[in-house]
Amino acid sequence: MLARLAPFVEKFVEHLTDLGHPRLTVTCYSDPARHFADWLCRVGIVASDVDDRVIDEFAHHRCQCPGGRRGKLVSPNYVRRVRRFVRFLAESGVVASSPACTTPAVDPRVTEFLEWLRCHRGLSERTLRLCEQVMRRLLPALGNDPATYDAALVRRVIVEEARRSSSSSVRTMTVTLRGYLRFLTASGRCRPGLDHAVPTVPHWRLSALPRYLPMADVERLIASCAVIAMLRPIAQPWLGDFPC
């Protein structure tokens, strides 16, 4: 089965390359495709029988396949890449129908960004899902062409979000957006330095403390000291030498 699907894996690699994906992204998709093809061979499933049920079975199999994978189960993102390969097989006429997409389509640049974070920053899947949610929210306002991004647009997007989101949420957005803009700059898709245009959300420790005390509070504080001084001789026999 692997030998039969091997030419389509290579065509899949060529297809992703023609779409402009960098080598890292292509590898992150081609490895699951080869793994899936090898698994089909091991369990004796022919390509024409591949459907959502087969993909779900692959998603839950206790992986003992060659390749040096650490976990016994594959991740949801790993299965999502397998589904992308199966859709390519359907377009090539190898599979009867394309499997249903369980999640909304993600911009290819965001997919590459998440893979970049996974491979080079070692972020957890939970953090990557949070980054994906942030980018889904920001991309409609940013637009689909990174070459048109400028400092005014970047600042305007964050300022608009700050008006309807909590400060903690906006801080998460700014951190994610800076990383995304740096990724685009590194891949030559937007002008450099835009990450510096992302506004900083003020956050100071103990910022909830008042900067000064009203006069009435000062008077009460002084009065409380006088009361303590009056009570000290009375309480001294019970307190002994304990300072108060």
Q: What is the dihedral of CA 98, 102, 104, 110, to 10 degrees?
A: -90
**Which tokens is 157 given?**
């997007």
Domain boundaries along the sequence of the chain: 2-91, 108-197
Comparing 212 with 203, the larger pLDDT belongs to 212
**Lowest mean pLDDT, pick from 151-155, 178-182, 203-207:** 203-207
For residue 152, the tally of other CB atoms under 10 A from its CB is: 9
pLDDT value of residue 135: 92
Residue 16 in contact with residue 29, Cβ under 8 Å?
yes
Model confidence pLDDT, tens digit, residues 94-140: 876 655 544 455 678 888 898 888 888 878 878 888 898 899 889 98
Instruction: Name the percent of the chain lying above pLDDT 90.
Output: 17
- For 46-75, write each residue's pLDDT tens digit: 877 888 888 888 888 877 777 655 556 777
pLDDT at position 153: 95
Tell me the fold of 108-197.
DNA polymerase; domain 1 (1.10.150)
Nearest to 28 by CA among 114, 140, 107: 114
Distance of CA 215 to the CA centre of its chain: 50
Encoded tokens for 233: 């001789």
